């Protein structure tokens, strides 16, 4: 009989996460007794939370905002992608050692390729934050010819309309739209030849994705990326193929039947 293992999601202010539902569906489909729970961690608690991943009975952890960089610094080894980004979203414990991985990056690349199968030309990235670096590397790997960064903090947001006018893909890496019916882009700026990738996944689909599709544009929300990083994390932990369809069903159960996944 398989011994039960504990898996965790380390972050702060993450009660909204759909990852527990996705992972519970995966373990049920595989007939495993494992559990996956949110660990809402303050900065003063982070060292202890990472150290606890070395304990017997812990199978691994995901890491989300705002601890991806800090956890990378606390791992014993990093995968090539995690080392490149300096950020970890998946931790694999083995014999008391922690190896940090970044499964966000290939998941983002997959989503971009689904939107622009022949490659993107000029890409506009809204925001930066924890996901910004992974998105930038994914854009590079997709073969984009130009990246334009738009942020509120440097005043470049005032140039949003001009930036979008010459773009064929826009990526929302801001939190705008999370748990709300807001969009970072006025609907009037959306058009059929401007693909939209919104990293926000709750609600699903977001207002930005809905309005982009209404304008005739290809658009994807963040739930697909969540699934992509999730099944890759599971395979790293278990060393076996992930039940992707069951995980997708788990996400839809958590996000709603019309979830964009």
Query: What percent of the chain has a predicted confidence (pLDDT) above 70?
Result: 98
Question: Tokens representing 43?
Answer: 């900065």
In the set 8, 34, 68, 248, the catalytic residue is 68
Can 68 be counted among the known catalytic residues? yes
Phi, psi of 118 (to 5 degrees): -95, 5
Give the model's confidence band at 99: pLDDT under 50 very low, under 70 low, under 90 confident, else very high.
very high
State the CB neighbour count (10 A cutoff) for residue 16. 11
What distance in Å separates the CA atoms of residue 147 and residue 209, rounded to the nearest whole number?
21
* pLDDT the model gives residue 143: 84
Cβ neighbours around 161 below 10 Å, total: 11
Mean pLDDT, range 147-154, rounded to an integer: 90
d(CA 220, CA 111): 8
CB 54 within 8 A of CB 47: no
Measuring CA to CA, which residue among 230, 231, 225 is closest to residue 201? 225
Between residues 128 and 75, the one the model is more confident about: 75
- Each residue's pLDDT tens digit, 165-223: 999 999 999 999 988 999 999 999 999 999 999 999 999 999 999 999 999 999 999 99
CA distance 84 to 214: 37
Report pLDDT digits (tens) over 216-243: 999 999 999 999 999 999 999 999 999 9
pLDDT of residue 241: 98
| Residue 124 near residue 169 (C-beta atoms within 8 A) | yes
Instruction: Say yes or no to pLDDT of 128 above 90.
Output: no
CA distance 63 to 71: 8
Instruction: Tell me: pLDDT of 129 over 90.
Output: no
What average pLDDT does the chain have?
94
Sketch out the chain's domains with CATH numbers.
6-102+226-255 (3.40.50.10860), 105-221 (3.40.50.720)
Q: pLDDT tens-digit profile of 8-51?
A: 999 999 999 999 999 999 999 999 999 999 999 999 999 999 99
pLDDT score for 1: 75
**Residue 219, CB half-sphere, CA atoms under 13 Å: how many?**
26
Tokens of 28: 């049920």
**H/E/C letters for each residue in the chain?**
CCCCCEEEEEECCCCCCCHHHHHHHHHHHHCCCCEEEEEECCHHHHHHHHHHHHCCCEEEEEECCCCHHHHHHHCCEECHHHHHHCCCCEEEEECCEEEEECCHHHHHHHHHHHHCCCCCCEEEEECCHHHHHHHHHHHHHCCCCEEEEECCCCCHHHHHHHHHHCCCEEEECCCCCCCCCCCCCCHHHCCCCCEEEECCCCCCCCHHHHHHHHCCCCEECCHHHHHHHHHHHHHHHHCCCCCHHHHHHHHHHHHCCCCCC
How far apart, in whole angstroms, are the C-alpha atoms of residue 159 and residue 137?
Answer: 23
């Amino acid at each position: 009989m398989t011994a039960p293992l504990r898996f965790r999601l380390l972050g702060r202010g993450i009660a909204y996460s759909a990852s527990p539902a996705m992972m519970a569906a995966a373990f049920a489909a595989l007939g495993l007794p494992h559990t996956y729970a949110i660990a809402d961690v303050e900065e003063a608690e982070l060292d202890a939370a990472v150290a606890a991943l070395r304990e017997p009975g812990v199978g691994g952890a995901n890491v989300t905002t705002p601890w991806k960089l800090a956890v990378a610094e606390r791992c014993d080894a990093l995968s090539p992608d995690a080392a490149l980004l300096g950020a970890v979203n998946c931790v694999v414990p083995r014999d008391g050692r922690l190896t940090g991985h970044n499964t966000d990056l290939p998941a983002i690349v997959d989503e971009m390729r689904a939107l622009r199968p022949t490659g993107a030309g000029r890409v506009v990235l809204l925001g930066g934050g924890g996901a910004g670096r992974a998105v930038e590397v994914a854009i590079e790997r997709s073969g984009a010819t130009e990246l334009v960064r738009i942020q509120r903090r440097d005043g470049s947001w005032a140039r949003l309309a001009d930036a979008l006018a010459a773009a064929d893909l826009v990526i929302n890496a801001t939190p705008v739209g999370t748990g709300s019916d807001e969009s970072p882009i006025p609907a009037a700026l959306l058009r059929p030849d401007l693909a939209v990738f919104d990293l926000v996944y709750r609600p699903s689909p977001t207002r930005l994705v809905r309005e982009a599709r209404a304008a005739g544009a290809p658009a994807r929300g963040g739930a697909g990326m969540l699934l992509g990083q999730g099944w890759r994390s599971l395979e790293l932990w278990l060393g076996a193929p992930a039940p992707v369809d069951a995980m997708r069903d788990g996400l839809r159960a958590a996000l709603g039947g019309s979830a964009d996944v």
